[in-house]
Amino acid sequence: MFAIVATAAVVVAGATVGVTLLQTRGESTGTTARKGFPPLDLPASPAVRLYQAGKHAQAEALFSRSHDLGDEIGAAFARWPHGTLDDMEKLVAANPESGLAQLHLGLAAYWSGRDADAATAWTDAAKVQPDEPSAITALDFLHPGVAPGLPPIVVDEREIDPHARALLLKGIESWDREHVVTAKREIDAAAKRAPRDPVVLTADAVATFTPASPERPFPKLGPLTAEFPKAAVVRLHLGVLLLWTRQVKKGEQQLRLAVAAQPGSVYASQAKVLLNALSKDGTH
The crossing angle, in degrees rounded to 10, of helices 198-206 and 232-244 is 10
Q: How many CB atoms lie within 10 A of CB 65?
A: 10
User: Given this model, what pLDDT does residue 9 score?
Assistant: 54
**pLDDT tier, 280 (very low <50, low <70, confident <90, very high otherwise):** confident
pLDDT tens digits, one per residue of 193-206: 999 999 999 999 99
Angstrom distance (rounded) from CA 78 to CA 82: 9
C-alpha closest to that of 76 among 87, 65, 62, 66: 87
pLDDT tens digits, one per residue of 70-103: 999 999 999 999 999 999 999 999 999 999 999 9
SS (H, E, C) 189-206: HHHHHCCCCHHHHHHHHH
**pLDDT tier, 268 (very low <50, low <70, confident <90, very high otherwise):** very high
Listed in sequence order, the residues at least 6 apart from 272 whose beta carbon sits closer than 8 Å to its beta carbon are: 255, 259
Angstrom distance (rounded) from CA 203 to CA 221: 10
Comparing 83 with 276, the larger pLDDT belongs to: 83
User: Given this model, what pLDDT does residue 10 score?
Assistant: 55
Kindly report the average pLDDT of the chain as a whole number: 90
Is the CB of residue 212 less than 8 Å from the CB of residue 180? Answer: no
Is the CB of residue 237 less than 8 Å from the CB of residue 205? Answer: yes
Domains in the chain, ordered, with CATH? 36-142 (1.25.40.10), 157-280 (1.25.40.10)
Mean pLDDT of 262-276: 94
High-pLDDT (> 90) share of the chain, %:
82
Mean pLDDT of 53-66: 98
**pLDDT tier, 27 (very low <50, low <70, confident <90, very high otherwise):** very low
Mean pLDDT of 142-155: 92
Cα 22 to Cα 161, 215, 240: the distances in Å are 39, 19, 19
User: Given this model, what pLDDT does residue 22 score?
Assistant: 37
Mean pLDDT of 216-230: 97
User: Given this model, what pLDDT does residue 84 score?
Assistant: 98
End-to-end CA distance of the chain: 28
